[in-house]
A and B are shown apart, each in its own frame.
Chain A
Amino acid sequence: MSASNLQQRHRTGRVWLVVFQVALLTGIVALTALLFNILNGSFGYVAIEDTIAPQDLAVNGVPLEEQDKDTLIQVLQAHISAGLFARYEFDKPFAERSAGEVYDLILERVVEPKFVAQWSLYETLTNRDAIRQTAAQDFPNARLEFRSWLNSHFLRAPQSSYPEIAGVRTAVLGSLWTIGIAVLFAFPVGVAAAVYLQEYAPDNLINRIIQTNITNLAGVPSIIYGILGLAIFVRALGHFTSGVAFGASDPTTSNGRTILSAGLTLGMLVLPLIIINAQEAIKAVPSSLRQASFGLGATRWETVWHHVLPNAISGIMTGTILAISRAIGETAPLVVIGASTFIQVDPEGPFSNFTTLPIQIYQWTARPQSVFRNLAGGASLVLLGLLLTLNATAIILRNRYRRSL
C-alpha cells in the first residue's frame, strides 16, 4: 500500500469519527429537546380574564389571600347564590373546610378566572414585548401573568374540565394505589419464582419452559396485558374486582374497571421484569455462602432465607424499583382496561374507579384545545419528578446496602 493510500485511509477514519460523534450528539440533542419541550409547555405567559378582579374583593384594604376563614366565607356568601352556598355546605360543612379550601372556592366561583390565551416558555422569554402588545390589543380586559402550570394548586386540585382549576391530585393518588397493588402482588410472587428457578429448579424440561416463557413474557407489548386484564380481571372476575362479592360496592352501578383490576394488570406486566432482576441478584450471591450453610446442616430453605435472600435483597429491591418505574409510566394497558372515565373524587379503596397520571397526560394531550397541552406539560413534570424520586431511591438503596462479598 502506498503512502497516499494511507493518508486517504486516515482521512476516511477521521470523517467517520465525526459521523459517530454526530450520532451520539443527536441522541443527546433529542433528550434535550424532549426535556425542553416539557418545560416549554409548563411555564409561560397567560392572559387571564376575571369576572371579578381579586383586588376588588379585598375587605378593609386587606388583600383576599391574607383574610381569615370567616371573612372568606362571608365574601363567598355575598357573591354566590344561597342555593349554591347551601350545596357546598351540604357537600362538606364550612366548619370543616380550611381557609385555603374556601379561598379556592372563591377563586373558582367568584373570581372565575378564564384563560383566554397562553404562550410557551420560549415565546415568553424571547418575545415579551410582542406578547404584551398582542395581549393588550386582543384582550383589553385581561391581565397578563407569568404562570407555572406546575403549582401547588395543580397538585392539590382534582381533575376538572375547566383548565383554570384542574389538577392532578386524583391522578397521582390513582397511580399510587395501582402501583401499590401491583407491587403487593408481583413482588412476593416474583421473588418466590426467582428463588425457585435459581435455588431449587433442576435442569429439566418444565423449568426450561418456565425460564424461556419468562424471557418471552418480558417482550410482550404492554397493550396485550391490557387486553388480557380486560378479559380476565374486568370481565371474567368482575364480580370480585368490582367488590360486589365482598359487599363493598353496589352491584347495580359498579363494574370491574377498578383500581384492583388495574393494579393486578400492572402486576402481571412487571412480574417477568421482577423475576429476571431478582434472578440476577440471587445469581450474584457467591455459592461459597450456600455451601458453608449446607455444611453446617442447614436445610435448603434455611440457606435461602438466612443467607441468600439477605445478601441479594439490595439487588432485588433495586430491580423491583426499576420495574415499578416502568409500571408507573404505563398508559396503554390501563386505557384498555379502564376505559377511563372522568374522575373527580379521590379513590377510596381498591374498588374505586380510577384514573392515573399517565392517563391524565394522554387525555389532556389528546384534547384539541391548546390550553390542555400546558396542563399535560405540567403533569409530565410531575410524572418525571415521581420517576426521578424512585430511581434516586433505587440508587441510594443500592449504595447503602451493597455488601462486599
Chain B
Amino acid sequence: MAPTRTSDHVSLKRKPRLRELVIQSLLFVCGLLSIFVTAGIIYELGKESLLFFGRTQWQLTNKPIVADIAPADTRIEVGPIGTPLREGDTLRLDQEVLHLIAIEDSIYVVERGVQDTAPASHAAGAVLHKGVDPSLAEFFTGTTWAPHAGQFGVLPLLNATLMVSGIAILVALPLGLATAIYLSEYASPRARNTLKPILEILAGVPTVVYGYFALTFMTPLLRTIFGQNVVQIYNTASAGIVIGILILPLVSTISEDALNAVPRSLREAAYGLGATRLETAVRIVLPAAFSGIAAAAILAISRAVGETMVVALAAGAGPAFTFNPFQAAETMTGHIVRISGGDLSYDSLDYNSIFAIGLMLFVMTLALNIFSQYIVRRFREVYE
C-alpha cells in the first residue's frame, strides 16, 4: 500500500495558545506600569500645582470690623490695627467674599457677596482676610518665598539650589575628570582594579550619612579655615562641597567609561607622531570622549539639583536670597523636606506649594537628563 499523504492533516498555522497570551499580556502590563508611574508624577504634580496657582490664598489681616453689619450694608467700618488694605482687594469675612471698592478713612465701601457667596450678617470683631493669588510671573520673579505672607517668589529657593549644584560640580568635575584620566590613561590594570572599587564605595554611602558628614565635619572645617564670623553654622558651601564628593564617583565612572571607549589605535597614532602621554590624553583621547564626559557632567548636575538630605541638614532652614556661599539658604529640595516634616494637612497652602516646587524640580532634572542623552547621541564619535 502506498504511503498516505498526511500533510493535508497537519496544519502549519500558528496555534492559538491561551496560556502564552495571558502570560504575555501580564508581562506587558508590568512593563506598562512604569508609564503609569510617570503619568502619576505628571498628573499629581500638575494638578496640585494648578491648585497652588489657581486658588486664592486667604491671609489673615488682623483687621476687625468695628460694628455689626447687616447683609445689605455696603459701607463697613474697620479698626485701625492690622495689615493695611488697598482698593481692589478681595476680602473675606467668615464665609462671605467681598470686593473692596473704595476706602474712606476707616470706612470701607464694598461689594457684598461676590464669587458665589451669599451676603450675611457679621458681628463686630469679625476679622478680615485678604485674598492673594499667586501668579506665575510672581513665582518666577519674586525674590521672597513666604507663602503665608502672600509672597510667592521661588527665586531664593532656586538660587540656593543652583548655588549648591554649582559648587558641587566645581568640586566634582575637575576631581572626577582628573581621576578618570589617571585611571584610564596612566594606572596599571592592577592599580585600577583596586582604586575603582574604593571610589565606588563613595557612591554607596547613603546621602543622610553625607548630611551628617557635612554638618559635623565639613562645616567645622570651613569655619576653622575662614573664621567663625564669616561662615555660618548652616551654609551652602559646606553642602555644595559634600554633594561634590557624593557625585564624584558618578563623574569619574562615566568619564572613565567614555575614555576607555576611545580605540587604542588613536593613542598609538598619537604616540607614533611623538606626542607625550599627557598630550595624547588631553588632546586626542579627551576630545574623542567629549560626548561621554559632557553627559557625565550634566547627569551629575541633575543629581546635585535633586539631592535632598545633605542640604536639608547642612544648608539651613528658611529661604534666603543670597549669593554668599557661607550663609544659610534653603534649597528647593530642602524646603520640601522641611515643610512636609511637620504635620502637613491636605489642601493647605504648604501642601500645594511643595507640589509646585516639586514640579519645577521634576522639569529641571528631566530636562537635564534628556539633554545629556541628546549630547551622547549628537556628539558621539563613531569609530568603525
Contacts and interface: CB of A to CB of B under 8 A. Distances in A.
Interface of A: 1, 9-10, 12-13, 16-17, 19-24, 26-28, 30-31, 33-34, 37-38, 41, 188-190, 192-193, 195-197, 200-201, 207, 209-210, 213-217, 219-224, 226-228, 230-232, 235, 268, 271-272, 275, 299-301, 325, 328-332, 335-336, 339-340, 358, 361-362, 365-366, 373, 376-377, 380, 383-384, 387, 391
Interface string B353-384: 01100100110011001100100000000000
A37 B213 CA distance: 7
Nearest to A189: B30
Contact of B30 (A37, A193, A340): A193
A216 B366 contact: yes
A301 B198 CA distance: 41
29 contacts: A19-B178, A24-B178, A34-B217, A34-B245, A37-B217, A188-B30, A196-B27, A197-B31, A201-B31, A209-B35, A221-B365, A223-B358, A224-B358, A224-B361, A227-B355, A235-B346, A271-B37, A275-B34, A325-B204, A329-B207, A331-B206, A331-B208, A332-B308, A336-B336, A339-B341, A339-B342, A358-B208, A365-B216, A380-B212
Nearest to A235: B346
B41 A224 contact: yes
B204 to A, nearest CB: 6
Given A192-B30, A228-B40, A373-B216, A30 B308 contact: no
Contact of B40 (A27, A201, A232, A387): A232
A30 B40 contact: no
A332 B311 CA distance: 11
B182 A331 contact: no
B26 to A, nearest CB: 7
A223 B34 contact: no
Contact of A272 (B34, B274, B373): B34
Contact of B333 (A209, A221, A387): A221
Interface stretch (B17-25, B82-90, B91-99, B107-115): B17-25
Contacts of B19: 301
Given A215-B373, A231-B48, 12 more contacts: A20-B179, A27-B175, A38-B212, A213-B38, A220-B41, A231-B355, A268-B37, A329-B205, A336-B336, A365-B208, A373-B212, A384-B205
Contact of A222 (B28, B35, B204, B308): B308
Contact of A17 (B208, B278, B299, B369): B278
A217 B205 CA distance: 21
Interface residues of B, number: 86
B195 A301 contact: no
Given A28-B198, A227-B336, A331-B309, A200 B34 contact: no
Contacts of B208: 329, 331, 358, 361-362, 365
A20 B181 contact: yes
Interface string B1-31: 0000000000000000101100110111011
Given A220-B362, A227-B45, A387 B341 contact: no
B120 to A, nearest CB: 32
A27 B369 CA distance: 25
Interface in B302-338: 302-303, 305-309, 312-313, 333, 336-337
B163 interface: no
B209 A361 contact: yes
A325 B206 CA distance: 9
A391 B204 CA distance: 10
Contacts of A377: 212, 216
A221 B212 contact: no
B33 A193 contact: yes
B145 interface: no
B34 A213 contact: yes
B69 interface: no
A179 B168 CA distance: 30
A223 B31 contact: no
A244 B17 CA distance: 41
Given A23-B178, A210-B32, A332 B312 contact: yes
Contacts of B32: 210
B33 A387 contact: no
B213 A339 contact: no
Contacts of B33: 189, 193, 271
Contacts of A339: 340-344
B14 to A, nearest CB: 11
Q: Which 6 A-B pairs have the closest CB atoms?
A: A221-B306, A329-B206, A23-B178, A192-B30, A332-B308, A196-B27
Contacts of A209: 35
B252 interface: yes
Given A20-B182, A24-B178, A200-B27, A365 B212 contact: yes
Contacts of B307: 221
A232 B47 CA distance: 12
